Amino acid sequence: MERLQKIISKTGFASRRKAEELISKGKVKVNGEIITEMGYKASYDDFIEVNGIPLNKTEDKVYFLLNKPRGVVTTTKDEKGRKTVVDLIKTNKRIYPIGRLDYDTTGLILLTNDGELTNYLTHPRNKIEKVYVAKVEGIVIKEELKKLCNGVIIDGKKTGKAKAKILKIDKKNNTSVVELIICEGRNHQVKNMFKTINHNVLKLKRESVAFLTLDGVKPGEYRELTIKEVKKLYGEGN
């Protein structure tokens, strides 16, 4: 017997956090009974439905690394009919992105049907580093970088420790290119961090997540992760 949200995430339907949200909203049934109790335990042999859809008890896990191009939304479906990151990957599995990148942000995004890995990579306590390269308005100075590294206040909450360095200064066009490494994933976080030091982001690209990079993967292209890479993401290998 396992907690219901863990069963849902293990089958790849949703992350554990999303599963908890679905349970609290009364969207989950076990053997025909609506369950809203977060500590409810069930068996994989139980008939579980989420949003009226029977849960697949056994589904092979898949893992994709996508180089997201500009103008693609990081979601499974878009009500405005825009192309999504899921549309770019050919698979018969029901996958979803781990975290998100803005519509105009490019770079590395992972997609999977593994709820456990999603939960692991997105939880702040695991300190998974994400490397961004931002082209911003204005000339960034070292004192401003120190502020980003020590944490800035966004929506009343201080960001965690970060790493930052200036890659390029263009005095003629009054722009700077900065590398920023963070372990969080708040909505629009990188853009909002630069706003606090009065620099608007013109272009933003995520270069890496943990040890994974975009090497050999062109914009709009993707590849599957190897078993070794998945184990390393879980902290099981080197």
How many of the other CB atoms lie within 10 Å of CB of 228? Answer: 11
Angle between helices 189-196 and 142-150 (to 10 degrees): 130
Annotated catalytic residue within 46, 102, 114, 170: 102
Which of 75, 76, 54, 52 lies closest to 7, judged by CA?
54
Q: CB atoms < 10 A from the CB of 198, how many?
A: 11
In whole angstroms, give the CA distance from residue 177 to residue 48.
50
Q: Does residue 42 contact residue 6 with C-beta atoms inside 8 Å?
A: no
Q: What is the DSSP letter of 148?
A: H
Query: Active-site residue 102, yes or no?
Result: yes
Smallest Cα–Cα separation from 164: which of 153, 150, 179, 174? 179
Say how many C-beta atoms besides its own lie within 10 A of residue 237's C-beta. 11
- List residues with catalytic annotation: 102
